[in-house]
Amino acid sequence: MRSRSDRLLRLVRRPRVPAVIAALTLLVTLVAPGLAGAQEPAPGNNYTIATDITFAPFEFQDESGKLVGIDMDLLAAIAEDQGFTYQVNAVGFDAALQAVTGGQANGMIAGMSITDARKATFDFSDPYFESGVQMGVLESNDSVTSYEDLRGKSVAVKNGTEGATYAESIKDQYGFTTKYFADSSSMFDEVRTGNSAAVFEDYPVLAYGIKQGNGFKTVTDKVPGASYGFAVAKGQNAQLLQEFNTGLANLKASGQYDEILDTYLNSDASDDDNSILGLIKSTYPLLLEGLWLTIVLTVVSIAIALVLGAIFGLFRVSTNIVLRGIGTTYVDVFRGTPLLVQAFFIYFGIPAALDFQMSAFTAGIITLSLNAGAYMAEIVRGGILSVDKGQMEASRSLGISYLKSMQKVVMPQAVRTMIPSYINQFVITLKDTSILSVIGLAELTQTGRIIIARNFQSFNMWLIIGVMYFIIIMALTKLSNRLEKRINK
């Protein structure tokens, strides 16, 4: 019968690949080009323009995935007129504001109202559209026909819009409350579910949605609102602002400005097939692109998190108080703060503080990796502590060093304990990718929001996306379970 010492010596002598070093080298190779490219400043007259992506008819994606709308067409025409180039960073209205103030974008066009409060932070172009506000309710709602009927009810509004400002100005007079949403589609869904009685929306947006069959109707006259303007950060990008103003004046003089507005404000109603099969047929290329980005984000982030988890997990069980303190701090910080806050801090906060630019993809990878790495570290710590202390003591009694004993004796046994938790963390990270939509990554959830902003078919689209998530997660779970069984044989 073989002794425990014999088994330990055999384990120590077994050659193994330095997996951690190899993984680190591979991951740095994958991520480094993205970091280097993201940090390159926009040269000369090549600009990065931030925008919303769910604000039809001003900006939305058409069936082919191309960004279109009044704002997008105006920007393209002005760029051609003035001879500058640009790339659009579609991140949502709130994130676009932060992208400009944080230096991630040179300018912003997103149906943004010119207000005195915003003038303190932004410099605006000449107004390019005169807006106004209307109240909308469901077509089937005959009980709300005026502001007086809103008493005791809730009203859905979108962050930073004229509709929100107007609703706030009259809510005390008419006795209703307001609920804020990040995009128009969520605001309309709030009313569809019956949680709010009406929406206050900029009239072109509301009119466009009604024409596309979103199931709403207007019940009040248009209230004049503020004008829309192109914005840059206060005191910056004066040349871009001047080029926009000059180009806008040229478009108005040539009549091209009116043609662009007519294209969207006087467009015909959509005759698209909005059944589930029709939506799958018309949107599957975009959905597959979103799904692919979701998988890439998950796989790369989990790979990096495995390395971080191994390093900081070993720190957590180290006998060195400094290393143990570093490991504990890392885990506490990233487990003790919301993933959403981490995404905003990494994408907007750090580049603004250190004066450099970072792509949304790089920020997303860093955010998910650091967050998942903290949980991986706890999985590693738990796995190591699950191994009987006698294993380490026996190894050390044979004269084997601490690190060698950990590498050859403890870790191989601990990894078998960790595998189920690793699989669970993989699934959690895949679902967490949806949070990265706040920084403009068009993963699967964000792709769904973009499509809904165009066709207003929220129930069918969320059903399709939910089924896609279910299929991919179940497939991965079954595959991982089979792998777990093979390893534990």
pLDDT of residue 38: 39
Residues contacting 24, CB < 8 A, separation 6+: 307
**pLDDT at residue 363 is higher than 70:** yes
Rounded distance, CA 389 to CA 77, Å? 71
| Cα separations in angstroms, 324 against 116, 151, 403, 404, 415 | 51, 58, 15, 19, 20
Rounded distance, CA 43 to CA 236, Å? 15
Do the first three CATH levels of 129-226 and 276-488 match, i.e. the same topology? no
pLDDT of residue 413: 87
Q: Write down the domain spans for the chain.
A: 46-128+229-266, 129-226, 276-488
**Comparing 14 with 452, which gets the higher pLDDT?**
452
Rounded distance, CA 433 to CA 412, Å? 31
Comparing CA positions, the residue from 313, 425, 292 lying closest to residue 361 is 292
- pTM comes to 0.72
pLDDT of residue 199: 93
pLDDT of residue 411: 85
Among the ranges given (20-24, 89-93, 216-220, 299-303), the one the predictor scored with the smallest mean pLDDT: 20-24
46-128+229-266 belongs to which homologous superfamily? Periplasmic binding protein-like II (3.40.190.10)
What would the mean pLDDT of 341-365 be, rounded to a whole number? 88
Task: Return contacts of 24-31, CB within 8 angstroms, 24+ apart.
Answer: 24/307, 26/303, 27/300, 27/303, 27/304, 27/307, 30/300, 31/300, 31/304, 31/362, 31/365
What would the mean pLDDT of 136-160 be, rounded to a whole number? 91
pLDDT band, very low/low/confident/very high, at 270 (cuts 50, 70, 90): low
Share of the chain above pLDDT 90, in %: 44
pLDDT of residue 269: 61
Residue 135, phi then psi, degrees to nearest 5: -100, 135
The CATH class given to the 129-226 domain equals: alpha beta
Rounded distance, CA 145 to CA 155, Å? 14
Residues contacting 224, CB < 8 A, separation 6+: 130, 132
pLDDT of residue 41: 41
User: Hey, which CATH number is domain 276-488, 1.10.3720.10, 3.30.565.10, 3.10.530.10, 2.40.50.140?
Assistant: 1.10.3720.10
Comparing CA positions, the residue from 106, 76, 68 lying closest to residue 89 is 106
What would the mean pLDDT of 67-82 be, rounded to a whole number? 94
